[in-house]
Structure 1
Amino acid sequence: MNDDLSWMLDSALEIPGALHAVLISADGLLMARSNGYGKDNADRVAAAMSGVQSLSRSLAFFCEDPSARWRQTLVEFDGGWVFLISAGEGAYLGLSASLDVDMADITFRMQQLVGQLGKVLMTPPRENLGTHS
């Protein structure tokens, strides 16, 4: 897990009503979680969200465009919302929120965060330049 990304995920939680955020890989592995959200729960959420994303993608034909790209899944519960969006190649951003969250604010913040995460996730690892042969 990348603890360096936790502060970025925490920025999404500045929206009133936002609760928790996770960054997951396409295969359901936890890449990062917001501070204060337990690792065990975050691992469970990551695995479940990978399945939700896969199921959501399989419904493109329902919009009469089987080639349509999946962009977002939104699930409503009695006590809140779960948002799931693409965060770049092979990564997804998930966020939970209370029922009274401002939907426009939270989705805008998530899109901003995806832009920031994309830059971080696409940065190649540094080579060890200090090593001499």
Structure 2
Amino acid sequence: MSEYPHFTADTADLRPQLNALLGEGVVSAVLFSSDGLLLAATDGLGRDEAERSCAAFASVASLQHTFAECCRTDPENLLLRYQIMDFTRHTVLLMSASRNSGLGVAVEGDSISQNVQLALSKSLKLIKALGPVLASRDREIHPGA
């Protein structure tokens, strides 16, 4: 598959920040909009793969609305912070990056491995560092917010 060109969240190319997550078990990461569109992805991940991953991550993140109904609360009271999906040899982390975006990270190892704990910590720090860029993007999507 061909590599995708520079994908940006508005005018900032966020690939270098995502690429900083690679290594120590992290095999790929994608930043996506709440409607499942690719905002940025790590090098080595093909465009088709990245777009499919973003759509899947966004659909899992959207389950908060269904779970809010089950919990008998407003979806605003049940905002996703992060989710850990533990598979046989890999763990997938899904995190809210802002009101309208998320971060998905694939890590080698099970959910209690040191790789996953380190990836989660690095990812949460990255989200905090990207806060101003992502908040600016949110304001452009929701001018009245």
Q: TM-score range by the shorter chain?
A: 0.7 to 0.9
**Match of residue 32 from structure 1:** 40
- Given that residues 56 and 73 in structure 1 are in contact (C-alpha distance below 8 angstroms), is that contact kept between their aligned partners in structure 2? no
- Given that residues 23 and 93 in structure 1 are in contact (C-alpha distance below 8 angstroms), is that contact kept between their aligned partners in structure 2? yes
Q: Which amino acid aligns with 1:104?
A: Q
Q: CA deviation at 1:57?
A: 4.8
Q: CA deviation at 1:119?
A: 1.8
Equivalents in 2 of 1:106, 1:18: separation in Å?
7
Q: Does the C-alpha gap of structure 1 residues 58 and 123 become closer, same or farther in structure 2, counting only changes over 3 Å?
A: same
- Given that residues 57 and 70 in structure 1 are in contact (C-alpha distance below 8 angstroms), is that contact kept between their aligned partners in structure 2? no
Equivalents in 2 of 1:117, 1:11: separation in Å?
13
1:23 aligns with 2:63: no
Identity of aligned residues (%): 32
Q: CA deviation at 1:56?
A: 4.3
1:78 aligns with 2:88: yes
Q: Which amino acid aligns with 1:45?
A: S
The count of aligned residue pairs is 122
TM-score, normalised with respect to structure 2:
0.74
- Given that residues 60 and 70 in structure 1 are in contact (C-alpha distance below 8 angstroms), is that contact kept between their aligned partners in structure 2? no
Q: CA deviation at 1:24?
A: 0.1
Q: Does the C-alpha gap of structure 1 residues 57 and 83 become closer, same or farther in structure 2, counting only changes over 3 Å?
A: farther
TM-score, normalised with respect to structure 1:
0.81
* 3-state SS, counterpart of residue 83 of structure 1: strand
Could you give the per-residue CA deviations for residues 29-81 of structure 1, whole angstroms, max 9, x where no partner exists?
0000001111110000001111111124532466x573232211111111201
In structure 1, the gaps of 5 or more residues are 125-133
**Match of residue 3 from structure 2:** none
